[in-house]
Amino acid sequence: MAINRDHRFRVEFDEAFPQGLVMVGEVSPDNEYQSREDKAAGRPVRQRVDEVTGKRQWVCTVTDPDEIKAKRASFEITLTADVQPVPTTSEVLPGMRPIELEGLTAQPKVAGQGEFKYQSYAFRAEGFKAVASGAARSSGSKVSSGAADQSSKAA
């Protein structure tokens, strides 16, 4: 039995991000690209819809404190929901809040360019859940996915 190319693997939040995540900024709609011609014609901006769930897509930028490479520490998470998800935690610094995600999935993909390609993951979640211990979390063993670029945008 083969696994489909775009299969999304369910993963526990604590397994993927042992030290949690810090959201930087706000949740915003994941809008489709709009060309100059579209803008000039006054066409409305359309929000992307997830092809698997049929729900609207939202994005937020997060930082993984467990990642040692600065280039790979910050990435976007795609949230799928009918209405805009709202974080359940308060800010610890202006524009920064610790978060936990529920319904987390990881989709393998190739990232990088030319001879510098590497294994990466596109992470999606259904929403936020309350963080038990604030910004600092107990550190567990690092999973191999933590070392890969976790961008949710396809290259």
pLDDT of residue 24: 96
Residue 115 in domain = yes
Tens of pLDDT, residues 107-121: 998 888 899 888 889
Total number of domains constituting the chain: 1
Residue 155 in domain = no
Q: Tokens standing for 147?
A: 């070392």
Tens of pLDDT, residues 63-100: 999 989 888 899 999 999 999 999 999 999 999 999 99
Residue 99 in domain = yes
- Closest by Cα among 22, 38, 55, 17 to 150: 17
Q: 144 phi and psi, to 5 degrees?
A: -65, -25
Tens of pLDDT, residues 27-57: 999 999 988 888 888 888 899 999 999 999 9
CB 98 within 8 A of CB 135: yes
pLDDT of residue 101: 95
Write down the pTM of the prediction.
0.77
Residue 138 in domain = yes
Residue 4 in domain = no
Domain that includes residue 102, residue range: 9-33+44-147
